[in-house]
Amino acid sequence: MPAACLRTHEKIINDTQVNRLRSQQSQLKAEAAQLNKQAERLSSPASFAQSAKLTRKAVAKEKEAAALQTQEVLHSSFTVPFNICQGR
């Protein structure tokens, strides 16, 4: 099997995984930003509990996005062996 063929398909698979991770990461960051905006609007003492809950959700989304970024770095560093050129 040509090595170039294998590398090309490994890169396609790796790029697809990285793009999926980036998309999920962007979505989580957008959700976190929206939750933070909602929490900021609830600044009165009567709505403190609801504001704190939204803030905790936003922090959780940000942590999840950071974990996806770590996965993205790992996928960018390594290739996935995939023998598609020979139909296996």
Assigned domain for 38 exists: yes
Assigned domain for 84 exists: no
Q: CA separation (Å) from 71 to 19, 39, 51?
A: 11, 29, 31
Write down the pTM of the prediction: 0.68
- The residue segments making up the domain with residue 57 are 3-77
Assigned domain for 86 exists: no
Assigned domain for 88 exists: no
Tokens 């930003």 sit at which residue?
33
> What total number of domains does the chain contain?
1
Assigned domain for 85 exists: no
Assigned domain for 83 exists: no
Assigned domain for 56 exists: yes
- pLDDT given at position 50: 93
Assigned domain for 82 exists: no
Amino acid at 14: N
Per-residue pLDDT for the chain (88 aa), expressed as one digit of tens each?
555 555 555 666 677 888 898 999 999 999 999 999 999 998 788 899 999 999 999 999 999 999 999 888 887 766 545 444 554 4
